């Protein structure tokens, strides 16, 4: 796969596409040999319709089992491509666990990954061993202990701001772990479901599931809230056993600046990523 360019090549048009998927039966976004991945399935359908292999660039490279209700990608196509009903035709070809929600010609300077300002995830937990309604079982994680909402929020708030999140990221050679966590807060829905809203400029590999696991440790009383601040400060990797499962995690939104600022934002992102060859991922 060729390295994508900041702008489409001459004679090409950039499409901005919003996708939704149930991650249950995907080995994540990124193409891998002999695995069913979202990228592979999407690009295969796309190639069938436009009759040309096109590489897609994704805003949030979700890990195996992670869902998306509003993933954003871009893809460059020859200007001659017939765009009429393209979203509809793609959905006819794709399996029902992957859908094209929107498809449009991208504004000048748009880059799905580099222009993005921030990514929004949600994480859903059914605590206290409560029974999960079978029709809701795909996008929530189960936890046996009851969780205290105030402590969840107290622990989570300690992580807000720009920090080196090395304690909460799976190690990847050369990838930066400095991120700005803008939102990390929990609410309990009427039916008892716990929902975390997690927003950052970008996330390191497995970061949301690490953050959730750490907040849960505090909420159930295994550690005091100060523990989470210490882990952050010491950049001491939390135990793998605390990491929460992929099934509870959903990418729900990607923010971009106004059209006028798209190129500036992309240039800024690129200038900051000299030590970050990998895309963020969860």
Q: Which residues bind a copy of itself (CB under 8 A)?
A: 20-22, 67, 69, 88, 91, 96-101, 129, 131-135, 137-139, 250
**Cα-based distances in Å from 152 to 51, 65, 138, 282:** 50, 24, 23, 20
Is 63 catalytic? The answer is yes
User: Least distance from C-beta 60 to a copy of itself, angstroms?
Assistant: 16
Cβ atoms of 169 and 210 within 8 Å: the answer is yes
User: Least distance from C-beta 182 to a copy of itself, angstroms?
Assistant: 25
Comparing CB distances to a copy of itself, the nearer of 144 and 274 is 144
Cβ atoms of 106 and 116 within 8 Å: the answer is no
Comparing CB distances to a copy of itself, the nearer of 2 and 84 is 84
Comparing CB distances to a copy of itself, the nearer of 94 and 199 is 94
Within 13 Å, how many C-alpha atoms sit on residue 35's CB side? 16
Place of tokens 């059914």: 126
Query: Annotated catalytic residue: which of 22, 34, 55, 63?
Result: 63
Mapped onto helix, strand or coil, the DSSP state of residue 231 is helix
- The candidate with the shortest Cα–Cα distance to 144, out of 156, 157, 130, is 130
User: Least distance from C-beta 264 to a copy of itself, angstroms?
Assistant: 33
Cβ atoms of 176 and 276 within 8 Å: the answer is yes
Comparing CB distances to a copy of itself, the nearer of 37 and 269 is 37
Other beta carbons within 10 Å of 87? 17
Comparing CB distances to a copy of itself, the nearer of 24 and 180 is 24
Largest CA-CA distance found in the chain, in angstroms, rounded: 61
Tokens, residue 79? 């200007």
User: Least distance from C-beta 22 to a copy of itself, angstroms?
Assistant: 4
Tokens, residue 56? 């897609």
Phi, psi of 91 (to 5 degrees): -65, -30
User: Least distance from C-beta 132 to a copy of itself, angstroms?
Assistant: 7
Catalogue the active-site residues: 63
């Amino acid at each position: 796969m060729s390295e994508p360019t900041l702008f489409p090549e001459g004679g090409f048009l950039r499409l901005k596409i919003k996708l939704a998927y149930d991650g249950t039966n995907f080995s994540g976004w990124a193409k891998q040999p002999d695995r069913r991945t979202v990228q592979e399935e999407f690009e295969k359908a796309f190639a069938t319709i436009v009759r040309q292999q096109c590489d897609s660039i994704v805003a949030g490279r979700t890990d195996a089992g992670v869902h998306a209700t509003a993933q954003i990608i871009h893809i460059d196509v020859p200007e001659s491509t017939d765009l009429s009903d393209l979203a509809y035709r793609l959905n006819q070809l794709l399996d029902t666990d992957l859908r094209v929600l929107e498809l449009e010609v991208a504004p000048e300077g748009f880059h799905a990954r580099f222009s993005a300002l921030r990514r929004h995830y949600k994480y859903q937990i059914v605590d206290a061993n409560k029974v999960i309604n079978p029709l809701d079982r795909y996008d929530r994680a189960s936890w046996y202990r009851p969780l205290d909402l105030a402590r969840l929020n107290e622990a989570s708030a300690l992580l807000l701001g720009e920090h080196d999140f090395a304690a909460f990221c799976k190690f990847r050679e050369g990838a930066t772990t400095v991120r700005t966590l803008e939102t990390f807060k929990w609410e309990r829905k009427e039916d008892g479901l716990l929902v975390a809203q997690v927003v950052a400029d970008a996330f390191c590999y497995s970061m949301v599931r690490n953050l959730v696991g750490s907040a849960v440790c505090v909420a159930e009383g295994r550690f005091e809230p100060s523990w989470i601040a210490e882990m952050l400060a010491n950049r001491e990797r939390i135990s793998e056993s605390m990491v929460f499962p992929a099934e509870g995690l959903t990418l729900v939104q990607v923010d971009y600046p106004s059209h006028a600022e798209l190129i500036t934002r992309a240039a800024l992102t690129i200038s900051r990523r000299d030590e970050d060859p990998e895309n963020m991922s969860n």
